[in-house]
Chain A
Amino acid sequence: MLRSIGIVFSIAAVSGAVLAQPATTTLRGAPPDSYKFLSHDELTRMLTTPESGRAYSASVINDHEYYYSEFVKRLDHGNMVEQHGHWVDQITILSGSGTLTYGGVIPGAAPNAAGEVRGASQTDGKTRTLQPGDFFIIPAGMPHKIDAAKGQTLNYVVFKARV
């Protein structure tokens, strides 16, 4: 086993030297995951530090070409509206409460090369209160916004599937 790994590394080193490819960060290209267990407490700890300048933290648990999942903690309102051209969001609310705004349009929506849109506002969206245990599916192309309720923390897990 160790020997075969060594051979793979050697081949990778040789082909890397020959092709002299620039170093790039590979996203959504991880090999299959091994067994993984994250307790409620571990997940809570992982999400203690918000992203810089934001009342939001996210932890990608696995990362593959056509699916990945992330745990998210939000303390914010007035979050950006999102729209994904190629990803379906399947979301389970874990704790806290909040509001989902879905549907309608993002005025002036301009997808980037990856088909992603972010907007400051959303018109004609419908709203729904989010409670622990709720599950919903946002189809690709549907504008959506998730806000924590005022003074509350909203935790959820997103399973993203490529379409």
Chain B
Amino acid sequence: MISKILPAAAGMLALSVSAALAQAAGGHAAPPEPFIYHSDGDLQGMTSKPTLGPVLSVLSDHENYFVEVVGRTKSGEPEFHSHWIDYIIVQHGEGTLTYGGTDTGATGHGEMRGGTINGGKSMDLHPGDYFEMPAGVWHQISLKPGTTAFRYMVIKIRQ
């Protein structure tokens, strides 16, 4: 009897401890995923009902990497990540990437947003394009006139 109760109690304790830890740790701390499949249609659906924030749906979430699908209906603001590298695969729409330079008027520490990029370079983004944005480089994705839905995958790697 005791031998049956003890493991159960230990299990419950472990569960409550791990739940508390997960709560305290916040995001980017999920265990390895099982097999996961999202069709193009599933991802398109997520972009209209994002799971996180106004444009993002998180597809996998770990301490040192995570994956998102992003659907933008309007241009994004300047972004700067001190500790995350972005790998981006453009899937739908026509846009412009501005990167490098400095920013005036941004807010935040480590993760900064907003303001205006000065002295950045720009290039066109088309479906099928891929780029890697190092940590610590300002970047902004804008939509071309006529593009109302711009979708891309982002792989974030902790540096």
Give the interface of A toward B (CB within 8 A): 32-40, 43, 61-62, 66-67, 69, 71, 88, 90, 92-95, 102-103, 128, 131-140, 142, 157, 159, 161, 163
Contacts and interface: CB of A to CB of B under 8 A. Distances in A.
Interface stretch (B3-11, B19-27, B132-140): B132-140
Interface centre among B43, B65, B99, B159 (most CB of A within 10 A): B65
Given A38-B131, A43-B130, A159-B155, A134 B38 contact: yes
B40 A132 contact: yes
B144 interface: no
Interface of B: 32-40, 43-44, 59-60, 62, 64-65, 67, 69, 85, 87, 89, 91, 97, 99-100, 123, 126-135, 137, 153, 155, 157, 159
Nearest to B69: A135
A33 B134 CA distance: 7
Contacts of A37: 97, 123, 129-132
A35 B99 contact: yes
A76 B23 CA distance: 46
A161 B62 contact: yes
A67 B157 contact: yes
B130 A35 contact: no
